[in-house]
Amino acid sequence: MDFSGKHVVVTGGTGALGSAVVGGLLAAGATCTVPFVHDAEAQRFPHRSNAKVKLIAVADLADETMVTKVYDGLKLWASIHIAGGFAAGKVAETGKAALMAQIDSNLVSCFLCCRAAVNAMAAGGRIVNVAARPALEWRTGAGMTAYTVAKAGVAALTVAMAEEVSKNGILVNAVAPSIMDTPTNRKAMPKADFDAWPKVEEVAATILFLASPDNRVTRGAIVPVYGKS
């Protein structure tokens, strides 16, 4: 895959999956804009000193003004939306504030970034969103219903938007990971079968293809990236 001369926004790019995606993009010749919320993640970001990476501090990607700051003036090829948040919780224990926090961090941020990306793509491009396994398999979302609702919204957004913007040469897709093999997830679930979890590099490879010029026909797909889990 060749991203030479192409500019790509990667939200959530300083996280585990995002770092793998940005690394793949840089290796393929891309220039990357990476918004970040947490300073600690930005300090650990392995590509922070790369001349082809621009880090932008933002407070909230569910804020239209912040999103405009990220995309303003870009001649964009692709936008990859990994940023989001997770919170478990039974419906009976989840208030409106907690529900809206999941919708804002996962769905609203994705919608606003999709909107900004479309407006920055003058000659077509690619958009890749990140849903989740419960977005496709709703029953697996028991105990994390607010998160499931938000990620199901990301999946619906992806499919509807893909139909809407295909005539503009923009292909929109999403991946739906199961639990990924990251240090945070290993710490949270120390007794799990880590070998069954998809590796971030493997999920990143799927994202990179969907975002690349090599993807000429795939749109409106929610691609399961489950590994052996």
* CATH superfamily entry for domain 7-225: NAD(P)-binding Rossmann-like Domain (3.40.50.720)
Is residue 229 very low, low, confident or very high in pLDDT (cuts 50, 70, 90)? confident
What is the percentage of the chain residues whose pLDDT exceeds 70?
100
CB 219 within 8 A of CB 166: yes
- What are the beta bridge partners of residue 199? 181
Question: How many other C-beta atoms lie within 10 A of the C-beta of residue 148?
Answer: 21
**Predicted confidence (pLDDT) per residue in 59-74, tens digit:** 999 999 999 999 999 9
- β-bridge pairing 7-11 and 222-225: unpaired
CB 128 within 8 A of CB 206: no
pTM above 0.85?
A: yes
**Predicted confidence (pLDDT) per residue in 152-178, tens digit:** 999 999 999 999 999 999 999 999 999
Strand, helix or coil at 96? Answer: helix
All structural domains of the chain with their residue ranges: 7-225
**Residue 55 in tokens:** 């880090």
User: Quick one: which of 80, 83, 87, 78 has its CA closest to 37?
Assistant: 83
